[in-house]
Amino acid sequence: MADPTTGLRRPLIGGDKSYADVTREVCAPLERKSPAAWWMTISAALAMLVVGVVAVTYQLRTGIGTWGLNNTVGWAFDITNFVFWIGIGHAGTLISAILFLFNQKWRTSVNRSAEAMTLFAVVCAGIFPVIHMGRPWLAHWVIPYPNARGPLWVNFRSPLVWDMFAISTYFIVSLVFWYVGLIPDLATIRDRAVSKVKKAVTNFFSFGWDGSNRTWHRYETIYLLLAGLATPLVVSVHTIVSWDFATSLIPGWHTTIFPPYFVAGAVFSGFAMVLTLMLVVRKVLHFEDYITLHHVDAMSKVIIATGGIVALAYATEFFVALYSGNEYERFTFVNRALGPYAWAYWIMVGCNIGIPQLLWSKKVRSNVAAVFVISLLINVGMWFERFVIITISLSRDYLPASWATYSPTTIEIATLVGSFGLFFTLFLLFSRFLPMIAIGEVKGVLKYGRPDGKEPRE
């Protein structure tokens, strides 16, 4: 997309800024008093969080019977939420690791927030399996440590154990990746800090960073290594999540397409969430020059691509059910589209296959409000995708005698609300206390596509 008059590529950052401008503008939200809007949104988020805390406390005291589960549908709302949140997280790693390996320079404006989103989403996701254990005070039993019970080890052949390892590794590696990226920016805040307390705190957390060339050299090396490690990791995490289902024998779950299908769905939903958050952030924090319309455009294209993979996966599932000649498999898919939960299925198809097609139009992609609404609808659709896969498949399996329907109780809905409260609370705190844009990385691409700079060296 070179400019025909100058032969230069389009600049990544708008507004002809100097390095000092970048520092000042990105740090500005941390240095001014919290605006009233921030207090209002964090109050709302905290209220949602309180709802969730009350619900979780009640269900821990009373038991899993407070949920709408029954003998037939043993996994429903909580596992849906778990897979939903884990999926959200994947876009952060995709932006920070995979786009880094593919040298997509535009990622620098959004990677910090996207990685933070990953961390917070994984935190929200982790809550659900732990509550589902029923006796979460024994949650440490999933860790294979030498114990006084034999020692009795975990069953390393179980996908649920793999899941525990995958998600805790994912959280730790994402945290480390994110923090390594933060160190130089914390040093920037330290050097700008006026108050003594802030200086001491940022000095503690910036590890004494001084911008030495030797350190930068090593820093770049480990950043590349971490990106290389995080890329297969992110694919493995949702693959293993999909194995939770695929290794069982429930029609609708027992398919080999699940790993790629889940990974594509995760990236799809994650990018929708990144867009939702970024469109708000650029407006509220005045980052229009950093998160430009080109960023929105690029992310919309990723959504079209991954949404296409998801649509293909839906079609493949139906084709395989037909082609397999397996009556249970065939019934499951007819039941999805026409059974008692057909409304959920058609919400999923509408939001995940129908709505994103609007993004093919350049006009829609450059309309921020439209993209925002589409991203919200995709989030809804992807939540319903997990609900469709998990609940509908379980509710009608082999024996008609054991068929059952499921509907969530108030407690379950309150828990979901609480997880959103936790997510937004963490994100709002992040926006208040840490730079939302990777200052160092943005400075590195500032000259990109400008007449006084030159083409980026690779």
Among positions 123-182, residues that touch another protein (CB under 8 A) are 134-135, 137, 144, 150-159, 161-162, 165-166, 169, 172-173, 176-177, 180
Q: How far is the CB of 200 from another protein (least distance, A)?
A: 9
Alpha helical stretches, state H, 5-64 = 19-31, 36-62
Q: Which of 216, 323, 398, 433 binds another protein (CB under 8 A)?
A: 216
User: Maximum CA pair distance of the chain?
Assistant: 75
Q: How far is the CB of 152 from another protein (least distance, A)?
A: 6
Q: Quick one: which segment of 203-211, 267-275, 349-357, 425-433 binds another protein (CB under 8 A)? A: 203-211
Q: Quick one: which segment of 233-241, 258-266, 319-327, 338-346 binds another protein (CB under 8 A)? A: 233-241
Q: What are the distances in angstroms from CA 265 to CA 104, 270, 385?
A: 21, 8, 9
443 scored as a contact of another protein (CB under 8 A): yes
Q: How far is the CB of 35 from another protein (least distance, A)?
A: 25
Number of residues assigned to the chain: 458
- Distance, C-alpha 244 to centroid of its chain: 19
Handedness of CA 133, 137, 138, 144 (dihedral sign): positive
Nearest partner of 371 among 425, 304, 320, 420, judged by Cα: 304
Q: Which of 9, 192, 301, 450 binds another protein (CB under 8 A)?
A: 192
**Tokens coding 291:** 């998160």
Q: Which is nearer to another protein, 23 or 269 (CB)?
A: 23
d(CA 181, CA 160): 31
Q: Which is nearer to another protein, 10 or 454 (CB)?
A: 454
Write the interaction track for another protein spanning residues 385-424; mark x where CB under 8 A is met and - where it is not. Answer: ----------------------------------------
Q: How far is the CB of 103 from another protein (least distance, A)?
A: 12
d(CA 13, CA 295): 10
217 scored as a contact of another protein (CB under 8 A): yes
Q: Quick one: which segment of 8-16, 277-285, 303-311, 449-457 binds another protein (CB under 8 A)? A: 449-457
Q: Quick one: which segment of 56-64, 68-76, 343-351, 357-365 binds another protein (CB under 8 A)? A: 56-64
**Tokens coding 2:** 């070179």
- Cis ω for the linkage preceding 11 (within 30 of 0): no
Residue 170 has what DSSP assignment? H
384 scored as a contact of another protein (CB under 8 A): no
Ramachandran angles phi, psi of 158, nearest 5°: -90, 130
15 scored as a contact of another protein (CB under 8 A): no
DSSP 296-359: HHHHHHHHHHHHHHHHHHHHHHHHHHHHH--HHHHHHHHHHHHSTTHHHHHHHHIIIIIGGGGG
Q: Which of 15, 35, 74, 232 binds another protein (CB under 8 A)?
A: 232
